[in-house]
Amino acid sequence: MNQEESAITFGYEASEEEIQKVILAWAQATEAFHYRFAKLDRIINTLQTTARRQPSASRARLNRLIELRQHMGDVLMTLLLDMSGQKTGQSAQLSKPGQLYSHANLLDELNRQIDAELISVTTVAQA
């Protein structure tokens, strides 16, 4: 018997129903995140076009939105790499339900931040 077979695993085993709930929460958070990213991208493109025509447009707001978009892209790439298990020097492994849950929570938090920023942009644009 080799060492791997003799290793005893301890820990919590999630039920199939719990795993399905976590996957659904992750999928919903990911879909919402992609929707907000696309919306943010459209707003940035509009503001950049407006800024070219009206140089006095709020550069600070545009820069903040561009930074937020970059942060969103970085987070998404990090989560995708985490899910793929392609970390340097480690063998590929499947994501655990805990990782999915953490990812869903992180995406939900970012979605709230994005919503707050988008609401402020929309409010200013309507004024």
Report percent pLDDT > 70 for the chain: 69
pLDDT at 92: 44
The answer to whether the CB of 61 falls within 8 A of the CB of 125 is no
| Banded pLDDT at 43 (limits 50, 70, 90) | confident
Domain ranges in the chain? 18-84+95-126
- Look up residue 85 and give its DSSP letter: T
pLDDT at 69: 87
Q: Which of 33-42, 45-54, 62-71, 118-127 has the lowest mean pLDDT?
A: 118-127
pLDDT at 81: 77
Q: Is 124 exposed, middle or buried (0-12, 13-18, 19+ CB in 10 A)?
A: exposed
Range 6-33 average pLDDT: 75
